[in-house]
Structure formats: C-alpha cells, structure tokens
C-alpha cells in the first residue's frame, strides 16, 4: 500500500482510462476524487465500489472541465473532504474527427478547453497545495497524438501536443519542490472514446467498421493489439512511487510501438 494517506484527484474518471487510474491508485491505498459525466446511479456505484473494494475514501465531483471556476472548486472540494491533493491526474478528454475545413469551431474550442486548458487550470490550482506539502505528482494523459499527427484530428492533436509542452514547462518550474510532472501517451486503448470515433472515421474515410478497427486504428500499432486501461494506470502508479522521484518532464509512451515508426 505505497500510496496510503495520499489523496488523488483524477479528472474524467467515470469511464475508461480515468476509472482505471482511480481504481489502481485506490488499490495502493490512495483516497480518490473521481470526476466526469455519466448516469448518476452508475457514477455512484463506481464510487461506492472503490470504497468497498479498497477501503479508501472516494468522493465525486461533477465539475465540468470546460469551466475554470468549477475546476478550482473541485480542487477545493478535495482539500476540504480528503484533506489535500498529493496526486493530480489530468485525464478528461474528448475527440472529434473531421477535415479542418469542415471542423466545427465550437468543437475546436471544446476540445482545446477539455484536453488542454483544463490541465492548466487544475495544475495552477494544485501547485500551492503541493508546494506546501513538499511533495506532489502531476500526471496528464496525453496520447501518441502528442508526438505524431493523424489526419482529421486537428483539435485533438493540437491539444495533446500542447499538453506535452505544458508538462515540460511545469516540470521545470517545480523541479526543486518535490513535485514531478509527467505525461503518459497511450496508443489506442479500447474505451468509449475510441468506440465513439469509429462512425465518424468511417464517414471521413469511407470505410467499414472492421476496416476502421484493423486498417486505421490497429494499423498504427505494430503490436496489432489495443493497449488496456489497466496497463496505462500501472504507469501512473509507478510515477507516484518514490522510485520515480527523478522522473520529471517526460512523456512516456504506452503505444505498442506506434511512435517508434
Ligand atoms: P472515455 O470517453 O472513456 O473517458 C473520458 C472521461 O472524460 C469520461 O469520464 C468523461 O465523462 C470525461 N469528460 C468528458 N468531458 C468532460 C468534461 N467537460 N468535464 C469533465 N469530464 C469530462 O475516454 P478514455 O479513452 O478513457 O480517455 C481518457 C483520456 O485518455 C483522454 O484524455 C484521451 O484523450 C486519452 N487517450 C485515450 C486513448 C484511447 O485510445 N482511448 C488514447 C490516447 C489518449
């Protein structure tokens, strides 16, 4: 239980990779604040399962990551209810697939807000708390798309490249404060986010569902397998350990070899 008495805030953790982070940190003894959208009864059962499976405190914030004031309130709530924020995982993210000339402007703004600006607002809010504690771990879920591009994902690729830059900047600013800042860059992980982009990719590229899965998604991954959410979460647990105290400012790929090509 290496993270006993640590308190973690994980944005976008009602589903997919975020939920895997929350459960993996709780399994190590951390109390968690989960966040994101979904049916209230589903969220409540996820929250309650974390408490009963791992014997930690788990609270939920409905903060909308497009709203800076709600992001600050979420961090304040973690401090008030859990007692602090030692670990921040910026994970909320959305995708939209379209050629640039048809890309809806409101989708560009929304993706930049959730996938990039929300991390800035959350990092900004936790820095004084972590500096005071003299310890902190800030992790963001970037993507293989923080390192390479794919057509039709202009907003996502731009936001994720920005997130990798924000990570490096924050790491340098906090290097002597006992706070590490890193991002994890998964390839394709089978989650609702990937599943939901299949119809748009079928439309944008004129392909069948099977062709999108095998010729577009898994085509990028030399291993020809999806990454699992649990494999991504295990990297975050390692980054929170003392063994990772000198790992800061990095972008760790978990992508089946995608960005080696
Ligand atoms: P997901 O759709 O399963 O989860 C996204 C989470 O973000 C959900 O909890 C959702 O409710 C939440 N969310 C969305 N909009 C929000 C908002 N405005 N405010 C608060 N929460 C919001 O997706 P996922 O695949 O688990 O993605 C998680 C992260 O991993 C994202 O940042 C994504 O870009 C990144 N990622 C995913 C993959 C993949 O293949 N699935 C690959 C690389 C990176």
Encode pLDDT of 172-195 as tens digits: 999 999 999 999 999 999 988 788
Question: Tokens in use for 77?
Answer: 């709530």
Query: What span, in angstroms and rounded, lies between the C-alpha atoms of 159 and 155?
Result: 6
User: Which of 18, 106, 107, 163 best tests ligand 1's pocket when mutated (most atoms within 8 Å of CB)?
Assistant: 18
User: Which of 9, 11, 12 best tests ligand 1's pocket when mutated (most atoms within 8 Å of CB)?
Assistant: 12
Name all residues whose Cβ lies below 6 A of ligand 1.
12-18, 35-38, 64-66, 91-94, 114-115, 141, 143, 186, 188-189, 191-194
Task: Name the closest-CA residue to atom 3, ligand 1.
Answer: 16
Please give the share of the chain, as a percent, with pLDDT higher than 90: 92
pLDDT digits (tens, 9 = 90+) for 40-69: 999 999 999 999 999 999 999 999 999 999
Active site residue 188: no
Say which of 21, 60, 156, 188 is annotated catalytic: 156
Q: In whole angstroms, how large is the CA radius of gyration of the chain?
A: 18
Q: Which residues contact 69 (CB under 8 A, 6 or more apart)?
A: none
Segments making up each domain of the chain, as ranges:
7-189+228-256, 190-226
pLDDT at site 253? 98
Mean pLDDT of 142-160: 97
Q: How far is the CA of 132 from the centre of ligand 1 (A)?
A: 30
The domain 7-189+228-256 is classified under which CATH number: 1.10.10.10, 3.30.420.40, 3.50.50.60, 3.40.50.720?
Answer: 3.40.50.720
Phi/psi for 32 (5° steps) reads -135, 145
Q: How far is the CA of 240 from the centre of ligand 1 (A)?
A: 21
Q: How far is the CA of 176 from the centre of ligand 1 (A)?
A: 31
Q: How far is the CA of 17 from the centre of ligand 1 (A)?
A: 7
Report the predicted TM-score, pTM, of the whole model to 2 decimal places: 0.96
* Best CA proximity match to 142, nearest among 163, 119, 123, 124: 163
Q: How far is the CA of 160 from the centre of ligand 1 (A)?
A: 12
User: Which of 95, 167, 193 best tests ligand 1's pocket when mutated (most atoms within 8 Å of CB)?
Assistant: 193
- Burial of residue 170 (CB within 10 Å: 0-12, 13-18, 19+) is buried
Which ligand 1 atom is at minimum distance from the Cα of 114? 18
Query: What span, in angstroms and rounded, lies between the C-alpha atoms of 17 and 37?
Result: 14
The answer to whether the beta carbons of residues 184 and 195 sit under 8 Å apart is no
Task: Name the closest-CA residue to atom 39, ligand 1.
Answer: 189
* Best CA proximity match to 145, nearest among 206, 231, 67, 217: 217
pLDDT band with cut points at 50, 70 and 90 for residue 143 = very high
Task: Name the closest-CA residue to atom 30, ligand 1.
Answer: 141
pLDDT at site 1? 60
Which ligand 1 atom is at minimum distance from the Cα of 13? 9
pLDDT band with cut points at 50, 70 and 90 for residue 204 = confident
């Amino acid at each position: 239980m290496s993270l006993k008495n640590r308190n973690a805030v994980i944005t976008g953790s009602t589903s997919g990779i975020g939920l895997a982070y929350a459960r993996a940190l709780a399994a190590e003894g951390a109390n968690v604040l989960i966040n994101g959208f979904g049916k209230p009864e589903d969220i409540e059962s996820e929250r309650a399962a974390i408490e009963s499976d791992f014997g930690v405190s788990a609270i939920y914030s409905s903060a909308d990551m497009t709203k800076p004031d709600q992001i600050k309130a979420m961090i304040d709530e973690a401090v008030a209810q859990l007692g602090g924020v030692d670990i921040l995982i910026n994970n909320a993210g959305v995708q939209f697939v379209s050629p640039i000339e048809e890309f809806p402007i409101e989708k560009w703004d929304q993706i930049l807000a959730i996938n990039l600006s929300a991390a800035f607002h959350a990092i900004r809010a936790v820095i004084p708390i972590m500096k005071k504690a003299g310890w902190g771990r800030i992790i963001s879920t970037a993507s293989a798309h923080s390192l390479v591009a794919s057509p039709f994902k202009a907003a996502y690729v731009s936001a994720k490249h920005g997130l990798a830059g924000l990570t490096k900047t924050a790491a340098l600013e906090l290097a002597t404060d006992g706070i590490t800042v890193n991002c994890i860059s998964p390839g394709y992980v089978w989650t609702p986010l990937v599943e939901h982009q299949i119809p748009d990719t079928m439309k944008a590229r004129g392909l069948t569902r099977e062709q999108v899965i095998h010729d577009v998604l898994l085509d990028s991954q030399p291993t020809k397998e999806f990454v699992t959410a649990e494999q991504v979460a295990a990297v975050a647990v390692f980054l929170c350990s003392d063994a990772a105290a000198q790992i800061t400012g990095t972008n760790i790929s978990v992508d089946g070899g995608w960005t080696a090509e």
